[in-house]
Amino acid sequence: MERSTIVRVHDGLHARPATRFVKLAKSFESDIELVKDDRSVSAKSSVKLMLLGVKENEEITVRATGADAIEAIEALIGYLENPHAGIEDDGVVQPPKPDAGKPAANRPAHGPAADGALRGVAASEGVAVGPVYGFFPAEIKHENRPLAANAIADEVLRLKQAIATVQKRMDASLSEAGLADSDRGIVAALKDIANDDELTGGAIAIVEGGIDAVSAVIGATSKIASDFATMDDPYLNARADDVNAVGRQICLALLGQEDVNLDTIAEGSILVAEDIGAWDLARAPLKRIAGVICGHGGATSHVAIIARAHGIPAVLGLGRAVLDLKDARTVALDGDSGAVFADPDTAVADRFQAAIAKAEAEKRALTAYKDVTPRRADGTVIDIAANIGSLEEIDAAKEAGAMGVGLFRTELLFMRHIHLPSEDLQAETYSSLAKAFAPHAVIVRTLDIGGDKPIAGVDFPDEENPFLGWRGIRMCLDRPDIFKPQLRALLRAAVHGNIKVMLPMISGVGEVQATKALIEECAGELAAAGTPFAHFDLGVMIETPAAVLIAPALAREVAFFSIGTNDLTQYIMAADRLNPTVAKLNDVTHPAVMAAIELTAKAGVDAGIMVGMCGEAAGRPDLIPAFIAMGLTELSMSPSSIQRAKKCVLDGSKSA
């Protein structure tokens, strides 16, 4: 069986998307291939998948043979058609700016810069000055040692043991509580490479040909890395560094060594390296690192992604010029322009320090709003909450000063497991969330899943437009075997007193009433079993034009509204928000969209219920005053926007 589609995964099947695709493919027994043009590769090999060079908006075919072929194709096509679907969260790393991959010399310089600077790729914005911490581990070289025929089997076994050792080290790294969620996805992608047949099988074949294991690994990784390096996609070019980094770790395991680590780096140091693996950087004490300079890499490399995720300025791709910094005592780097200064003179250092002071002042100024409770001019509290999708994001939200959670996306809990999560697992997750943010409210969105977001255990129909299909509340009401365990779990978690629940994709009052009936049925079942539970406030997301037009009727049925501006905009404008050719129509400031928001707010205010917003627009300083004026009293957003939003509300109340 086979089916073709257009790939909608952002930037195509590069490292982490390929890892997630492979993980999903491996959950099926069928043999699965991905076909592009005249080439086909196994969908269960991330390396082969990446080397196929599948880009966004390209047509590909998924081919499956086996007992669960239909289910496999439906799930994999669903993933490919939705750039936001995934088995695990990638965090909140922002993509590089449109010109971030260009050489710094061809880009407009921002911030401190002067003649005499070394220039590389501006990979993560910001400026830094600090002492050099050199990271130049010894190179592992080919031995090209021939093996006697009777030694080959032992050498193959030794290689397999080394691969297993690297796997265990990466598993241990993934289990570390301090590993950021975004970094976790990168380490998982590296682990997948370390276990890929293209690499391991290639190395084993070389050993079986009579060459020592270290040389075999270097040879196999060099070939794969070379294949990546010749591709015309910058994301896939950058995977060459990942393959080499994994190969190095296997070689070190063969030699009984561990790589030089970064545990001893001093606070405020600039990490300078000819090359550094993403795994090494992800495990480093990142809070101590003021900046990163590297000879290899670019704006799409995993080192750059990690740096951006942690707000660390970075200049990569310096080439051999990075060796000029090896003996420097201090270094200044400008992550906006790609300029690097070894032992900067007083004038350059003063410019950098002034820029750093200005940035820190702005950051400190916003930090002052962390624990502030913003109010309207009339004294009404405006809750500034966080949008999150996993428990790993709790710390970042609390650190930013989130006043609860305005949107907890439960689909990630379903996507990251091969089987449907149990009621107990869900109850534990929702309870942990409630306890973490008490006494603030935590709004949990029931399963918002559809044909564009595959999960195990649900067969979705073939739909021309999944955004208009069997998704959200529509699917849940049709599948009480999935919906009721979630509702029971939420009732159990509600004993903590701050759980609220909202329903996605509502288009009629009947959907709310049917859900209420199921909730009562679930409450009866829990009571009969003697399981503690409590009732929760029930609300709806306003994201369809139908919900806007019947908002007064919905307001009589529920305790709150939450406006989902992302989907509401695409439905109001009849423009797929994933289609770049109509991207300009996806504008929340369009009069039609703003009118829909205002109609919703009026209906909620007139009914005396809370009206909030959990779309991307909620964090926009240029729109927050208008939303507050409409009567919204809760705004939920990415944690990085929270402090700025609080400031905006307070500034607006002062000027009112």
Number of Cβ within a 10 Å radius of residue 232? 8
What is the number of other CB atoms lying within 10 angstroms of the CB of residue 58? Answer: 15
CA atoms within 13 A on the CB side of 509: 9
Q: Which residue has the tokens 């930013």?
A: 400
Task: Write out the catalytic residue numbers.
Answer: 302, 614
Torsion (CA) 87, 88, 91, 96 in degrees, nearest 10: -40
Q: How far is CA 624 from the centre of its chain?
A: 25
Interior/surface letters 273-293, b for 16+ CB within 10 angstroms, e for the rest? bbbbbbbbbbbbebebbbbbb
Helices 346-367 & 642-655 angle (0-180, nearest 10): 70
Residues near 360 by beta carbon (within 8 Å), at least 6 away in sequence: none
Which residues neighbour 435 within 8 Å (Cβ) at sequence distance 6 or greater? Answer: 496
Cα(629)–Cα(542) distance, integer angstroms:
18
Residue 251: HSE in the Cβ half-sphere, 13 Å Cα cutoff: 23
Q: What is the dihedral of CA 362, 363, 368, 372, to 10 degrees?
A: 110
Strands across the sheet with 2-6, in order? Answer: 2-6, 59-65, 31-36, 39-42
The pair of three-digit structure tokens given for residue 343, joined into one six-digit string: 């032992």
Pairing of the two strands 121-124 and 314-316: antiparallel
C-alpha pair distances (Å), 134 with each of 269, 323, 335, 569? 10, 10, 18, 49
Residue pointed to by tokens 């003697």: 530
Rounded Cα gap, residues 646 and 509, in angstroms: 34
> Hey, what are 441's tokens?
């409210």
Shortest CA distance to 394 belongs to which of 430, 368, 340, 341? 430
Q: Write the DSSP assignment of 163-229 as a string of letters.
A: HHHHHHHHHHHHT-TTS-HHHHHHHHHHHHHHT-HHHHHHHHHHHHTTB-HHHHHHHHHHHHHHHHH
CA 598/CA 568 separation, integer angstroms: 13
Give the whole-angstrom CA distance, residue 524 versus residue 530. Answer: 10
- Token pair for residue 467? 């955004």
Residue 558, φ and ψ in degrees, nearest 5: -125, 170
The closest alpha carbon to 336, from 352, 325, 350, belongs to 352
Q: Is 116 helix (H, G, I), strand (E, B) or coil?
A: coil
> Tokens 């699965």 identify what position?
32
DSSP track, 309-356: HTT--EEE--GGGGGGGTT-SEEEEETTTTEEEES--HHHHHHHHHHH
Q: How many CB atoms lie within 10 A of CB 154?
A: 12
Q: How far apart are CA 371 and CA 167, in angstroms?
A: 42
